[in-house]
Structures are given as structure tokens and as C-alpha cells.
Homo-oligomer: A and B are copies of this chain.
Amino acid sequence: MSATSGARARARLEVTAAIKDEARRQLEQEGAARLSLRSVARELGMVSSALYRYFASRDDLLTALIIDAYDALGAAAESAHAEVADEDPRERWHTVCTAVRAWALAKPHEYALIYGSPVPGYRAPQVTVDSAARVGELLLSVLRDAHERGAPGAPPLPPPLKPEGERMVETFAPGLPPETAVAFTMAWAELFGLISFELFGQFEGVVLGRDAFFGHAVDRLADSVGLPAAGRPAGERADRTAR
């Protein structure tokens, strides 16, 4: 029995889920920095000390929420990708990027938890990295596929960046040319830069047609990583961005 004994284990999972759900709800109003075990317990009709049986500390709860958020985003991206798995790589790139933005717009506070400013005094433990890598891995798989089909790839690297690119290939981008690994890393950061600016209010009064703007931006990011534009030369696929 013990950890796996049915009813007990199920109850434990249910309470754990309820705690995380309530914590996510409070994230919306207070933000990660002010997340409070006590307040979660109060709302759940429990007493604060009871929560310590489920999470050893406030930081542990935070870690669980962070992993869940990365996994939810990763799952959303992966399932959107699965639906267009037969399309050409550029189409899949577009779909994944759009799914990432859609998830972020739907869960702005969970997005802020993982891609916003770090929570002061909190250091994300190593266990978060696998989940954190999912979206990047997915986009890399698209690029790898494109590369195998003979995509042009990214422009040449300046010599000082060559070793960095080769290290990236070894570490997380096997099967890709170093130029593409570097270009991808830039595009990856830039993609989240676009989403963060939209979500964090920097586009207020600046960008009004957000969907079309993002679609075009994603197309240009695709150009920048050397994804072929299905016959047309890069930069002239602009017409598909506004769908």
C-alpha cells in the first residue's frame, strides 16, 4: 500500500489539485510574489498548517505551479502541432507560434509566472527545465524536419559566434547546422518578446491589429530561421499572415 494505495492516493491527488487550482486563481489577483499559503488554505476552508502536508513550503507550491504552466503551454503547442503534422514546416512553425500566443492570451498570469520577471527570493530548481524546454524542442523539431527536406537554413555566422553555434548543436540542436541553431535561439527569444510586449501592455496604443501584426511577425521570424516559404522567396509570404 502506502503511496500507491488507491483511495488514499486518489484523495491526496485531489486535494493537491484543489490547492494548485486555488493558488492559480490567486495568482491572477496577487501575482506570484505575493502568493500565500494561508490565503489559499482559507479559501479552501482548511487551516494553513494542513497545506504543509502537501507542499513543504510556499516555494514548493510555486515550483509546482511553474512546472504545470510550462507543461500546459508545452501541451497546447504540441497538440496544435499534431493537428498540422502533415503540413510543410513553415505552416507548422506558424501554427506552433500562434498556439503559444493563444495560450498566453488565455492564461496571462500563468504566462507571467514563467516568462515574466523572476520572483524575488525564489530560484527555480532544476526539475523545471524539462518542462520549460518543451516549446523550444518542438520548434527545433520543425526546423530539423525542414533541414532534412533541404531547407536553405540561416545565413552564415560571424566567426566569433561559430563555437557558440557548434555548442548549441551539441547541447540542444542535434542534426541542425550551427547557423540555424543560433538563428533559432534568437527567433525563440524574439517570439516571446512579441508576446510579452502584447501581454504586459507595451503595445497599448501602439499596435491595434494584434492578430495580423503577430502573424506577420511570425512569418518574418520564419524567414529569419531559413524556413522556405513554399515556393515563394522568403519575405514574400506576407500575404498569408493575416488569416
**CB within 8 Å of B: which residues of A?**
28-31, 33-34, 112, 115-121, 124, 129, 132, 155-161, 163-164, 167-168, 171-172, 182-183, 185-186, 189-194, 196-198, 200-203, 205-209, 212-213, 216-217, 220, 224, 235-236, 238-242
Contact = CB atoms under 8 A, between A and B. Distances in A.
A224 B213 contact: no
A110 to B, nearest CB: 11
B238 A182 contact: no
B117 A112 contact: yes
B201 A158 contact: no
Given A157-B238, A185-B207, A241-B158, A120 B193 contact: no
Contacts of A34: 33-34, 120
B200 A189 contact: no
A58 to B, nearest CB: 13
Contacts of A29: 120-121
A236 B160 CA distance: 14
Contacts of A158: 212, 216, 238-242
A28 B117 CA distance: 12
A113 to B, nearest CB: 8
A190 B185 contact: no
A105 B207 CA distance: 27
Instruction: Find the residue from A129, A156, A238 having the highest chain B CB count within 10 A.
Output: A238
Instruction: Find the residue from A116, A193, A213 having the highest chain B CB count within 10 A.
Output: A193
